[in-house]
Chains A and B, each alone.
Chain A
Amino acid sequence: MKIFFKILIIFFLSIGSLRAETFPLLSEYNFFQDIKGQIPNEGVVPYHIANPLFSDYTYKFRFVSMPDNSVASYNHEEVFDFPIGTTIIKTFAYPVDDRNLKKGFELLETRLLIHKEEGWVPVSYIWNDNQTDAEIRFIGKTIETSWIDKNGITQSVRYRVPNINQCKSCHQLNKVIKPIGPKGRNMNLDFLYKEGQKNQLEYWESNQILTNLPKRKISKPAIWDNESFSVSERARAYLDSNCAHCHRKGGSAGNSGFYLSLEQNNGVALGIRKRPVAAGRGSGGMAYVIDPGNPEDSILLYRMASTDPGVMMPELSRSLNHKEALPLIYDWIKEME
């Protein structure tokens, strides 16, 4: 009997070390002064990025929490080098009515990426019905819900909270888990802080949480839905943030040889007259990933416009079409020679 208890205790401890510093409830991290309103505590910095991943029209509230007196190091093309102890926080929510955000939000899940000695650890919290707190969940969940969209139409969605493995599938690079969003080139934007509107990079630097910024002027990112940029700039920006976390060397779709990072400039690797390799019916009967000038014959657009799980891209994070982005990709392929 004693031995049994000993085994039990060893078991508790081994699991304990595995999941150390992840709390059962989101509130226990003390990130928020108003958790329901997503108002952060002092030292937890809200931010946004240039081109967020489309996730079934959810709004995302992003924050970063770093240990006192620690700084991240700037990187333009990759994610900042964050110190151990950093947590990146992202809450997914639907507006009650997208025409009037004052009516509030339905909070779905809050995802954390916690930077530990052994690396970045993903964990997700699912909000309770009363929206007072969120509870840890490793195995994902399906949430059937709805919201009123910008046109006043009620939209229903089968929203999937990813399980831990699915988190990794987008967040891993060369088998190491990493954040995706806070890269230098995604962050050179203004943000409305409680102290007023400021450039994020300047704000981070002046608050001494970011260092090693380049002396030269940092370029402004193209924004996919800002028509002051060219169609090509907007399309590449969109594909970079929606596809390139997997479609890059060392990413989950690295085996495809189809790479969509902003830095990519090889035509075939970008999909131009590239044959499908393992697409199966994802090819839609078409010969090329991108057939220049012919968006109707391009697998890229076909898969972006599908909601069939066996066809659609991205594979995770959406069950609906991103209607506003499809014309952009259409135009981009159309104007290619």
Chain B
Amino acid sequence: MIMRNFFLKIIFLNFLIFINLTGSLFSNTIQPGPLSYEEIQKALILSKPGDIIKLGEGVFEFEDGLSLDINNVTISGEGINKTILSFKNQKSGAEGLMITSNGVILKDFAVEDTIGDAIVVKGANGISFIRVRTEWTGGPKESNGAYGFYPVQSTDVLIDGCIAIGASDAGIYVGQSERIKVLNSIARYNVAGIEIENSFFAEVIGNISEHNTGGILVFDLPDLPQQGGHHILVENNIVRNNDTENFAPEGNIVGNTPNGTGIMVMANQFVEIKNNEIKNNATAGILIASYQDEAEDKNYNPIASNVFIHGNSLINNGFNVDKVRASPISEVINGKVPDIIWDGVVPLTEWIGIRSSKRIILGDNYSNSDTPVFANLKLMTKFLISYLHKVDTNYENYRGELKSIQPVVFKKD
């Protein structure tokens, strides 16, 4: 009898859960309304692998963050401008949407005006963002959240056909991750449009990055669990008109990005910058720099190597260098700055010539400029024997060839 009661109880409990679930199971789509936060969060918690959570057209207004921790769930809206999750009145949760499970697919919706980051993905094996938008609708402001798309410590990251607007750090950011594709996306009015940081094997292809402070950043930073970023391909992107003044809250690394930077590489190995259209960036078209701050981290390599730059179209860059954030450039170059700038910082052994390694390799690049296209600022020499210092603008000294970076292959492919 006791068993029977217990069984009935379980049935009853399941029935209650079942009734709660029917909303998402049978009517399929969750519509905006006063109860939609509970409906969505409930669906996110009670979903099973393989489920599709459908969100209807309209504006969903939330006061608290949402989170998903079930593998292989798809959240699908009706369109990048039709299904809008608005966090304008957010009161709790440090981000809009947090994903901590594997193989999640997010598609066809927008996340707006979150109090912190828009979409955070932590430690996921497999995450796809397809036609998703993150935006702070009040334009670029220091009070905007740091990141639009923020997958970190993840693998097999796909960002395709997405739009990121107004982030006070990076619109599309991938950090400490492995196997990454950022494709066909648009980043506007962020401090960094697209940023790949401390990551291995990434391709950034076919995107438009415009009106940011910096268009595309490939960074490596010290004192993090994963560092030594390598094998990053930046190909066929349009990086233009990056003319938004840096509005990152002070203290953040990205706050050092000079106004009007096209593509910037800091401390990575094997970076290929190929066939991009880089246009109207006031400080420089392509900037290769070492990590400037002192780092106690013994495992950290602050200097980039094997950066292969070829096939790019460089038009009207370097016309108004940011004298504050890019003072090393403005101190040694007067007037028009070459499209491609390398700070020329190398280890001491390399500077005195007892060792050598490939740093910057230039193939053919197109420029409309009648002044030099490339400059090695030779900052080591400037620092060590300043009276011998001279900027090297001889392109041919750096000409060479490097094996192309292989396409990224996801584990599941």
A72 to chain B, nearest CB (A): 27
- Selected from B9, B11, B145, B293, the residue in CB contact (under 8 A) with A12 is B11
B135 at the interface (CB under 8 A from A): no
A19 vs B13: C-alpha distance in the bound complex, in angstroms? 9
In this complex, what residue of A is CB-closest to B17?
A15
In this complex, what residue of B is CB-closest to A11?
B18
Contact status A12-B252, CB under 8 Å = no
Contact residues, A267-322 vs B (CB, 8 A): 267-269, 274-288, 299, 308-311, 315, 319
A180 at the interface (CB under 8 A from B): no
A158 vs B91: C-alpha distance in the bound complex, in angstroms? 9
A275 vs B293: C-alpha distance in the bound complex, in angstroms? 9
Partner-contacting stretch, out of B42-50, B77-85, B282-290, B307-315: B42-50
Contact residues, B148-166 vs A (CB, 8 A): 150, 152-153
Contact status A281-B146, CB under 8 Å = yes
- Selected from A15, A160, A279, the residue in CB contact (under 8 A) with B252 is A279
A16 vs B147: C-alpha distance in the bound complex, in angstroms? 39
Given contacts A12-B14, A12-B18, A166-B67, contact A309 B250 (CB under 8 A): no
A168 vs B101: C-alpha distance in the bound complex, in angstroms? 12
A140 vs B293: C-alpha distance in the bound complex, in angstroms? 43
User: Which residues from A are CB-within-8-Å of B123?
Assistant: 175
A40 at the interface (CB under 8 A from B): no
Number of A-B contacts defined by CB within 8 Å: 154
Contact status B93-A139, CB under 8 Å = no
User: Which residues from B are CB-within-8-Å of A287?
Assistant: 250-251
A285 vs B252: C-alpha distance in the bound complex, in angstroms? 8
Contact residues, B29-47 vs A (CB, 8 A): 38, 41-42, 44-46
B108 at the interface (CB under 8 A from A): no
User: Which residues from A are CB-within-8-Å of B413?
Assistant: none
Contact residues, B204-227 vs A (CB, 8 A): 221, 223-225
- Selected from B45, B48, B251, the residue in CB contact (under 8 A) with A283 is B251
User: Which residues from A are CB-within-8-Å of B252?
Assistant: 276, 279-280, 283
Contact status B100-A268, CB under 8 Å = no
A318 to chain B, nearest CB (A): 10
User: Which residues from A are CB-within-8-Å of B48?
Assistant: 14
A29 to chain B, nearest CB (A): 13
Given contacts A165-B69, A283-B251, contact A160 B92 (CB under 8 A): yes
User: Which residues from A are CB-within-8-Å of B176?
Assistant: 255
In this complex, what residue of A is CB-closest to B114?
A310
Chain A at the B interface: SS class: loop
B5 to chain A, nearest CB (A): 11
- Selected from B42, B94, B296, the residue in CB contact (under 8 A) with A310 is B94
User: Which residues from A are CB-within-8-Å of B145?
Assistant: 280-281, 310
Query: Interface residues of B toward A: which range?
Result: 35 or more
In this complex, what residue of B is CB-closest to A313?
B94
A276 vs B114: C-alpha distance in the bound complex, in angstroms? 20
User: Which residues from B are CB-within-8-Å of A139?
Assistant: 38, 41-42, 45
B122 at the interface (CB under 8 A from A): yes
A162 to chain B, nearest CB (A): 10
A83 at the interface (CB under 8 A from B): no
Encode contact with B along A198-231: 1 for CB under 8 Å, 0 otherwise: 0000000000000000000000000000000000
Most buried by B among A166, A256, A257: A257
A38 at the interface (CB under 8 A from B): no
A190 vs B307: C-alpha distance in the bound complex, in angstroms? 62
B212 to chain A, nearest CB (A): 15
Contact status A319-B92, CB under 8 Å = yes
In this complex, what residue of A is CB-closest to B68?
A165
- Selected from B42, B152, B169, B249, the residue in CB contact (under 8 A) with A285 is B249
B243 to chain A, nearest CB (A): 22
Contact residues, A1-52 vs B (CB, 8 A): 8, 11-16, 19-20, 23-24
B117 at the interface (CB under 8 A from A): yes
A107 vs B169: C-alpha distance in the bound complex, in angstroms? 41
Those 10 A-B pairs whose CB atoms lie nearest each other, nearest first: A280-B146, A283-B251, A285-B250, A165-B67, A310-B115, A310-B116, A315-B94, A12-B14, A281-B249, A257-B224
Known: A254-B225, A255-B224. 14 other contacts (CB 8 A): A24-B9, A142-B63, A165-B44, A252-B122, A257-B224, A276-B253, A277-B224, A279-B252, A287-B250, A299-B251, A309-B92, A309-B116, A310-B116, A310-B145
User: B interface vs A, CB < 8 Å?
Assistant: 9-11, 13-18, 38, 41-42, 44-46, 48, 63-64, 67-69, 90-94, 98, 100, 114-117, 122-123, 142-147, 150, 152-153, 168-169, 173, 175-176, 221, 223-225, 249-253, 293, 296-297
User: A interface vs B, CB < 8 Å?
Assistant: 8, 11-16, 19-20, 23-24, 138-140, 142, 158, 160, 163-166, 168-169, 175, 249, 252, 254-257, 267-269, 274-288, 299, 308-311, 315, 319
| 17 A–B pairs (Cβ distance < 8 Å), ordered by A | A12-B18, A140-B41, A140-B64, A142-B92, A158-B92, A255-B224, A267-B296, A268-B223, A275-B223, A277-B224, A278-B150, A279-B146, A280-B146, A284-B249, A286-B251, A287-B250, A288-B251
